[in-house]
Amino acid sequence: MLIDRIDHVVLPVLDLAAASEPFERLGLKLTPPSRHRGQGTENRAFFAGSRSSQFYVELLAVHDEQEAVAAGRIEYLEAARRGQALNRVVFGTSDLAKVHAALQQAGVESAPYAVMNDSGEKVCEVLPFAAELLGIRAAAIQYEGDLDARFERRRAGGLLGHDFPLKRLDHLAALAPDLEATERGWTQILGVPVHGEIRGRGIVIRQMKVGDAILELLAPEAADSPMRQRPPGLSSMCAFEVPNLDESVKLARERGFTPSEPATGILPGTRTATIPAGELSGMGLQLLEYV
């Protein structure tokens, strides 16, 4: 398998400070605002997971439109203006060159680019994927330096000390317009095997496991499935495991959110509740407990 983990998702926003507020009110610790040199973008992020499965949500805004246009990053401003919500999934890899070679061999054109911080230091290299390859807007990333050291710096900086009990990313979901063709992009090019399949409530879920998290490929189970009314691509929802769903829902309500009532999840052995996307700057937050 050429990718090791689901590293992060990108949530384009128009106003970084305003978009950060509900996440902080929920009790999540966000990084200070940081700018990307030469990209015209700035971000904040919150992290969840362990040393081997760390994942983050990146709130990304354009602070310099002219610079963003020159760097080819204007898509994030356009996505924020459309209210597109989650825009991209980024997968971690220890060998970006091998991923690039596999894409080229499959006839998929792409070119990596470097991301520099505001001090001019190289943070990582990113290799975008064509949306048609995996059924979602995606990319692969390889960081400079040791991942364990990055984890320790975040822990020492208090970035994992949330006042809300997110354990780890459990899954993301995307509606695949052609489930079989999309699966081939995952299995034949990136080497990600199908972890399982679930059917129910008019939905077929094909599970692609990357690290200890899942990306669910969704498709309608029948011609009259309500799923057919949904647009293809990435769902603007992240599902995080929590240790106690009822307590998590209570805490969210005390902080001004309106999560749904806890209910049996479509995944076997789970209970779920969801904080609506409109209350978290366009990203739904599903709280999931294994029972």
Residue range of the domain that includes 69: 5-156
pLDDT of 53 reads: 83
Look at strands 88-92 and 233-234 and give their pairing: unpaired
d(CA 69, CA 75): 9
Q: How far is the C-alpha of 161 from the C-alpha of 47, rounded, in Å?
A: 10
Domain-ending residue, one of 156, 184, 210: 156
The total domain count for the chain is: 2
The predicted pLDDT at position 232 comes to: 83
The domain that holds 137 is classified in CATH as 3.10.180.10
Do both 45 and 148 map to the same domain? Answer: yes
Whether residue 151 sits in one domain with residue 9 = yes
Relative to beta strand 34-36, strand 88-92 is unpaired
- 13 shares its domain with 150: yes
The one-letter code for the residue type at 85 is A
Residues 227 and 146 in one domain: no
Task: Say whether both 54 and 120 belong to one domain.
Answer: yes
For residues 144 and 274, membership in a common domain is answered with no
The reply to whether 115 and 211 lie within a common domain is: no
Any domain includes 17: yes
- Which residue has 């799923």 as its token pair? 227
Q: Looking at the domain assignment, is residue 91 inside a domain? A: yes
Q: Strand runs (DSSP E) across 22-176, as ranges?
A: 34-36, 41-48, 55-62, 88-92, 113-116, 122-129, 138-143, 168-175
Query: Does 138 map to a domain?
Result: yes
Domain C-terminal end among 156, 190, 221: 156
What tokens were used for 225? 């499935």
| Measured CA angle at 2 (ends 31, 208), to 5 deg | 80
Q: How far apart are CA 204 and CA 220, in angstroms?
A: 6
DSSP state of 96: H
For residue 204, what pLDDT is reported? 92
Is 161 part of a structural domain of the chain?
no
Asked if residue 60 and residue 188 are part of one domain, the reply reads no
Measured between alpha carbons, how far is residue 181 from residues 8, 76, 135, 266 in Å? 24, 27, 9, 24
- Residue 25 covered by a domain: yes
Within 13 A of 105's CA, how many CA atoms are on the CB side? 10
**Cβ-contact 125, 114 below 8 angstroms:** yes
**Distance from the first to the final alpha carbon of the chain:** 30
Structural domain ending residue among the three candidates 132, 156, 180? 156
Burial class (CB in 10 A: 0-12, 13-18, 19+), 187: middle
Which of 121, 122, 124, 96 is closest to 110 using CA atoms?
96
Do both 149 and 172 map to the same domain? no
Task: List the beta bridge partners of residue 208.
Answer: 194, 215
In a domain, 126, yes or no: yes
Q: Is residue 163 part of a domain?
A: no
In this structure, are 115 and 66 located in the same domain? yes
Domain shared by 238 and 175, yes or no: yes
Per-residue confidence of the chain (291 residues) as pLDDT tens digits?
999 999 999 999 999 999 999 999 999 999 999 999 899 999 999 999 988 889 999 999 999 999 999 988 898 999 999 887 998 999 999 999 999 999 999 888 889 999 888 888 899 999 999 878 888 999 999 999 888 898 999 999 999 999 999 999 999 999 988 899 899 999 999 999 999 999 988 889 999 999 999 999 999 888 778 778 788 889 999 999 999 999 999 999 999 999 999 999 988 999 999 999 999 999 999 999 999
How far apart (Å, rounded) are the C-alpha atoms in residues 44 and 258?
24
Specify the long-range contacts of residues 220-225, CB closer than 8 Å, at least 24 apart.
none
The DSSP letter of residue 135 is S
Task: Please check whether residues 146 and 205 belong to one and the same domain.
Answer: no
The span from the CA of 266 to the CA of 221, in Å, is: 14
Domain presence at residue 162? no
